[in-house]
Structure 1
């Protein structure tokens, strides 16, 4: 496989991830921004959704996060994705920061509200949702270790229903009648509920269930959607710390 097969332009999924011992990619091509990603990472998916939603021409390079290339750690001190790199060699990392950067730096529809109060409301909703994410990973961990699932699943369910109470019932999306930043920041974890039979909790959360249905029709979500089977296959390998998990399905 040639080096060029390890990344792609636009939004077509890249081929296999780069890992330890791989050659560092060259400069970012003119007119593009580069994102270092991993096909199944929900945090990287946040940035990829923004790139697609705003129609930003970009280059994607997938990185194996279990077997990281040495050069990646030089670019990304935290060793995590997403990471953006500009034509000027500027590097931006952390998912929320990269998304804000993209929204502020590129033309087209602004995903973040201009009104300070509306912007604050979205950030507060994200803060509440971070607790849901924490408990979801506790469920995944319990499944990995074979621990009793009753306690973490009950805690996850309780927090999800608390979050449901914060969801506006008079708009189609979380921030209004059109998709905005908060929708893309939260979506990746709902995409990951179905493979583990956890989507049933949405039956008790009608506002969130309606929101999920609306998000499934969003062009950016549809373009980047990963099948439940692939999500499940990845997670099973990831829980076993198999370095091939990043390339599941390729």
Structure 2
């Protein structure tokens, strides 16, 4: 594990899937950071100074470098330490993982936004149309999970951590509809994620950060395994 000179600062929002996957990777790496939970209605000036675009997650490193993209944060954390071997082991494996993440972050996220927030996109496709368009990829994921617990093999990988928070968001938009779909492998994969210690770690609730409060270290060490 490469030594980190100073504890990084992570600006995060508990329910944001991008921030969630960044926290998952940080927790998997064992990299401690100061967690600053953000109120999206009152973003702290310190975060906006570091990252004027104003979206989470933002990781400020001890040397002043700022990482503003969740995937960059994940790769930074796991490159420093990867005890669970979440990173791809070969160039071919890496290509497969990055293709899956690109599909999630591109076409699937496009449809997810229009499914979950149809009023934000007037004049475009309906929420039902977006749901059905996104469902074709979920069917592919269900097929990919046939005979395996994870998206890229027998253990949780970068792909699972990067994608699961978005599938969770999709499922919760209309859980009754989602649960009726003939996707038993995908349902089991998502439930495994929701029952995991990793998910429990990253979903601990914290009040919005203020400059006056004592630092909150992440990941927490007192979260029991959820079974």
Judge same fold: TM > 0.5, yes or no.
Answer: yes
Matches within 5 A, 1:96-245: 96-130=71-105, 131-142=107-118, 151-166=126-141, 167-198=144-175, 200-202=177-179, 203-225=181-203
> d(CA) in 1 for partners of 2:67 and 2:120?
32
> d(CA) in 1 for partners of 2:7 and 2:204?
24
> d(CA) in 2 for partners of 1:75 and 1:97?
16
Q: Residue 107 of structure 1: CA displacement?
A: 4.8
Runs of 5+ consecutive residues of structure 2 not aligned to the other structure:
206-227
Q: Residue 102 of structure 1: CA displacement?
A: 0.7
> d(CA) in 2 for partners of 1:143 and 1:198?
20
CA RMSD of aligned residues (A): 2.8
Alignment CA distance shift 1:92-1:162 (3 Å):
closer
State the SS of the aligned residue for 1:59. strand
Q: Residue 137 of structure 1: CA displacement?
A: 1.0
1:193-234 Cα deviation digits (max 9, x unpaired): 45432463352322211211222332211323479xxxxxxx
> d(CA) in 1 for partners of 2:7 and 2:137?
41
> d(CA) in 1 for partners of 2:130 and 2:172?
19
Number of aligned residues = 198
Match of 2:41 among 62, 66, 84: 66
Q: Residue 144 of structure 1: CA displacement?
A: 6.5
> d(CA) in 2 for partners of 1:158 and 1:56?
38
> d(CA) in 2 for partners of 1:107 and 1:158?
35
Once superposed, which parts of structure 1, at least 4 consecutive aligned residues long, lie more than 4 Å away?
Answer: 147-150
- Is residue 50–residue 103 contact of structure 1 (8 Å, CA) maintained in 2? yes
Bigger relative contact order, structure 1 or 2 (CA pairs below 8 A, ≥6 apart):
2
> d(CA) in 2 for partners of 1:47 and 1:72?
16
